[in-house]
Amino acid sequence: MAQIDRLFSEIDPDSGTFSFDENVARVFDDMISRSVPLYADVQRSVPMLAGLLDHDPIRVIDLGCSTGTSLIHLSAMLPQRNLELIGVDNSQPMLDQCEEKLESLDLPHRIETVCDTVQSFEFENASVVLMNYTLQFVPEGDRPALLSRIRDSIRPGGFMLISEKVAHEQATMDDALVELYFEYKRRQGYSELEISRKRDALENVLIPLTTDQNLELISDAGFARAEVLLKWFNFATFLCRV
């Protein structure tokens, strides 16, 4: 069970940049569910969309799987389907939390986890590739090749579901969206100190693109169709079909 996220009320403000270390991993499930608007809706949409596929097996690769929430959801919601579930993450502490959750659950499918970067992990024959709130942490220069490799790995009929924090091309609008997002965090119980320390820690670590820039990258990677499936101010989820 994840602990309540009080990370940025506790840590030394000079302790630097955000990383998915043991301290973040311990509180991650609470952190992400309180910090990302529509997170629960995105999680619910994963088995809803995957369940529409007639693939057998349905092979799902979750890039940046963190504590395995999406893969666990898939297994629990689609117990009768033949699922191959593979999660990739380059943070061992996040995968340790994932393993701990898996041990406490009696799921109908095996979930395989791999500690590797999404840039170097090789995969093929995917029905579904998930990449929720992860591309934003990948160096910008690596994003086009990664998206092309994902495109090439997806079987006919399959899809990629990708969620990102997004920037706005107009500075005044971007400022307004960021302020509305901070308001959202206040409503989730985060203090001014926690909000501003986390903003500083994420600077140059989480690099958001605009919605249009993301759509262009997806299109350039060869996806036939991409649409914004869910959007909340500065967060967007894209459904990308091959």
Ligand X SMILES: C[S@@+](CC[C@H](N)C(=O)[O-])C[C@H]1O[C@@H](n2cnc3c(N)ncnc32)[C@H](O)[C@@H]1O
Known binding-site residue numbers for S-adenosyl-L-methionine: 39, 64-66, 89-90, 132, 199
Pick one of ligand X, ligand PRE, none as the site partner of residue 35 (Cβ within 5 to 8 A by kind): ligand PRE
Pick one of ligand X, ligand PRE, none as the site partner of residue 70 (Cβ within 5 to 8 A by kind): ligand X
Minimum CB distance to ligand X smaller for 69 or for 211: 69
For every residue of 111-178, DSSP letters joined together read EEEEES-TTT----SEEEEEEES-GGGS-GGGHHHHHHHHHHHEEEEEEEEEEEE-B-SSHHHHHHHH
> Could you tell me where the beta strands, DSSP code E, fall in the chain?
58-63, 83-89, 111-115, 126-132, 154-165, 225-232, 235-241
Q: Least distance from C-beta 7 to ligand PRE, angstroms?
A: 10
Mark the binding-site residues, compressed into ranges. 39, 64-66, 89-90, 132, 199
Contact 132, 68 (CB under 8 A): no
Binding residues vs ligand PRE (CB under 6 A): 31-32, 35-36, 133, 165, 198, 202, 206
Which of 113, 134, 211, 234 binds ligand X (CB under 6 A)? It is 134
Calpha distance 140→64 (Å, rounded): 16
Calpha distance 72→119 (Å, rounded): 24
Q: Least distance from C-beta 199 to ligand PRE, angstroms?
A: 6
Q: Which two tokens stand for residue 185?
A: 């965090």
Calpha distance 169→155 (Å, rounded): 34
Residue type, 115: C
Pick one of ligand X, ligand PRE, none as the site partner of residue 8 (Cβ within 5 to 8 A by kind): none
Q: Helix (H, G, I), strand (E, B), or coil: what is residue 82?
A: coil
Is residue 117 a contact point for ligand X (CB under 6 A)?
A: yes
Minimum CB distance to ligand X smaller for 29 or for 194: 29
Which of 26, 84, 92, 137 binds ligand X (CB under 6 A)? It is 137
Is residue 70 a contact point for ligand X (CB under 6 A)?
A: yes
Q: Least distance from C-beta 156 to ligand PRE, angstroms?
A: 31
Calpha distance 24→6 (Å, rounded): 10
Residue type, 159: F
Minimum CB distance to ligand X smaller for 23 or for 176: 23
Is residue 45 a contact point for ligand X (CB under 6 A)?
A: no
Minimum CB distance to ligand PRE smaller for 127 or for 214: 214
The residues that touch ligand X, with contacts defined as CB under 6 A, are 20, 32, 64-66, 69-70, 89-91, 94, 117-119, 132-134, 137-138
